[in-house]
Amino acid sequence: MSNPSVPESASFESPENAESSESFDAILSQYEQTHSRRSGEGGKQISGTVVAVSADSVFVDIGYKTEGVLPLALFQGAGETVEPGSKLLVSVKGRNEEGYYELSRMRVEQPKDWSALEQALADKSVIVGTVTGVVKGGLTVDVGVRAFMPGSRSGAKDAAEMEKLVGQEIRCRIIKLDAAEEDLVVDRRAVAEEEDRSTKERRFGEINEGDVVSGTVRSLTDYGAFVDIGGVDGLLHISDIAWARVEKPADVLTVGQQIEAKVLKVEAAGKRISLGMKQLTAHPWDAVAGKYVAGERVRGAVTRVTDYGAFVELEPGVEGMVHISEMSWVKKVRKPGDLVKPGDVVEVMILGVSVPEKRMSLGLKQTLGDPWADAAEKFAVGSQVEGPVTSFTKFGAFVQLVEGVEGMIHVSEISAEKRIERPQDVLRTGQVVKAKVLDVDKEKRQIKLSMKQLVPTGLDEYLAEHAEGDVVTGRLIEVAGDHGTVELGEGIRSRARLVAEAAAKEESEPGAVDLSALGLMLASRWKNGPSAAEAKAEPVRAGQIRSFRITLLDREAKKVEVQLV
């Protein structure tokens, strides 16, 4: 098809007609110059109408004999929809190889020659270019001539973002130019950063504390969210997201979510803006007065545990604290985490409420019942109890009587037979023992126990097995005139009258050997002792094994007296 702007005399002729060919070249050159001047009317924008959309281009009627063209990627990258009939404001940059006018949607002068590019470099002015492809180390950009843009100056974070720039118009600045070598390097990142700073400066001047703003969640961190509020970022701290405790911002927010927030603080010097979402709703503590009363039982979820207690949320934004001392009657709690953990639902009693301070004291043990309440009746003095040994101290052992109630056996109350230095020498943790209750102090939460007073002693057994008048065997351990001290068994001593009974026969029959006493003493030695007749003939002295008659046996006073026979 012939171009209507080309005269008929310039129509194509055979290759042999060189003269005609030269005439055509001259006319074509003149045509291009004419249209170049027409399209180079500065950065003036003209109105155009979309006439067609192909797989990669948008064709625009700009009132010229040939349509203009824009990359379709330019619209897709901006999220715009374009179709035949759409109106666009464009600027003409030049002609492409196919004869279409290359268009721009930016009103920026496009340099057309190297002198213009050198002037743009000297003025540090912003020019427009179209990214044409990805090459090693960066991108190629058409700015009227072919230019190179290093990847580091593209503003793209990675290769994927660089690929997305292909086909897009960009604003850039020339940073290197060598006309002789036709070497041109451009920088997009610097221009973008300058424009970003300018936008932020303007936006900071528009935002004031107390403003309610709309924004888009740009990113999430462990401590909050960064929100784009029109060109600048504000920090929404995790503590200002909601009145209820938020463990992670990602639990309630998502990247790209549209939110409304209140501007809490603007730091012009540091260019920081603090935002809050919860400040747009009423504080839950405003409705607490009269709703929660001391002495009331309530249920809530444990939100966090510290070294000194646990926090329980009764409703979103309303928490109370259970101090470690209010957790258990049963045992001394060393770590709250041993008893409760975050997420546990517990029943607690309200101990106190302070609305001005937004504080509430709670008790966990008060809902469980005090095991010491009836301890005096349950463990009466003189009664026998049984339980496992739970722990030791230097002065005794603790025994668990019931859950939450322990009694203490002093080291001196463990055994009547021997002196014990350490309770661990005769007892072990977990060993079940029986003991007698000596004393109960409900106020101090103390119960005194005794093991030795529950176990019969050798004297108790001796008194139970003998009666006055019985003839028994004993060893003299002390002699003082006509009286002395005799050992009737291990640990059993008695006062003895060492004058033989007047009514006794001169040849008294040997007394029956007291086997129970011999079993408690050194039986083998005593069995081999002298006969009664031989012993009677001997003078009385310490160490002798002799026979005695019980003259007094008082079980209440635990007293025995004997007389030599």
Q: Are residues 515 and 536 in the same domain?
A: yes
In a domain, 467, yes or no: yes
Domain coverage including residue 495? 458-564
Q: How many CB atoms lie within 10 A of CB 331?
A: 14
Cβ partners under 8 Å of residue 161, min gap 6 = none
Among candidate residues 98, 188, 110, 100, the one with its CA nearest the CA of residue 145: 110
Q: Are residues 475 and 547 in the same domain?
A: yes
Reported as a single tens digit per residue, the pLDDT across 134-191 is: 899 999 998 888 899 999 999 898 888 898 888 888 999 999 998 877 789 999 999 9
Reported as a single tens digit per residue, the pLDDT across 311-346 is: 999 988 899 999 998 888 766 788 898 889 998 999
Q: What is the count of structural domains for the chain? A: 7
Q: Are residues 394 and 413 in the same domain?
A: yes
Q: Are residues 499 and 559 in the same domain?
A: yes
In a domain, 165, yes or no: yes
What is the percent of the chain where pLDDT is above 70? 83
Q: Are residues 462 and 559 in the same domain?
A: yes
Q: Is the dihedral of CA 463, 467, 468, 472 positive or negative?
A: negative
Q: Are residues 390 and 481 in the same domain?
A: no
What HEC string does 414-441 produce? CCCCCCCCCHHHCCCCCCEEEEEEEEEE
The chain-wide mean pLDDT, for the chain, equals 80
In a domain, 438, yes or no: yes
Among candidate residues 252, 249, 262, 144, the one with its CA nearest the CA of residue 212: 262
Q: Are residues 483 and 531 in the same domain?
A: yes
In a domain, 441, yes or no: yes
Measured in whole angstroms, the distance separating CA 317 from the mean position of its chain's CA atoms is 19
Q: What is the pLDDT of residue 250?
A: 92
DSSP 8-state code for residue 365:
G
Q: How many CB atoms lie within 10 A of CB 325?
A: 12
Cβ partners under 8 Å of residue 248, min gap 6 = 222, 238
Q: Are residues 538 and 518 in the same domain?
A: yes
Q: Using CA atoms, how far apart are residues 183 and 178, in angstroms rounded to an integer?
A: 5
DSSP 8-state code for residue 466:
-
Over 70: is that where the pLDDT of 420 sits?
Answer: yes
What amino acid occupies position 323?
Answer: H
Q: How many CB atoms lie within 10 A of CB 349?
A: 19
In a domain, 469, yes or no: yes
Q: Are residues 481 and 442 in the same domain?
A: no
In a domain, 369, yes or no: no
Q: Which of 426, 450, 474 is the last residue of a domain?
A: 450
Reported as a single tens digit per residue, the pLDDT across 206-225 is: 888 889 998 999 999 999 99
Q: Are residues 51 and 141 in the same domain?
A: no
Measured in whole angstroms, the distance separating CA 100 from the mean position of its chain's CA atoms is 64
In a domain, 109, yes or no: no
Q: Are residues 501 and 533 in the same domain?
A: yes
Q: Are 352 and 360 in contact (CB under 8 A)?
A: yes
Q: Which of 362, 397, 412 is the last residue of a domain?
A: 362
Report CA-CA distances (Å) from 252 to 247, 248, 278, 285.
9, 8, 12, 22
The CATH number covering residue 442 comes to 2.40.50.140
Q: Are residues 262 and 330 in the same domain?
A: no
Q: Which of 416, 450, 484 is the last residue of a domain?
A: 450
Q: Using CA atoms, how far apart are residues 186 and 176, in angstroms rounded to an integer?
A: 7
Q: Using CA atoms, how far apart are residues 112 and 32, in angstroms rounded to an integer?
A: 13
In a domain, 202, yes or no: no
Q: Using CA atoms, how far apart are residues 212 and 220, in angstroms rounded to an integer?
A: 21
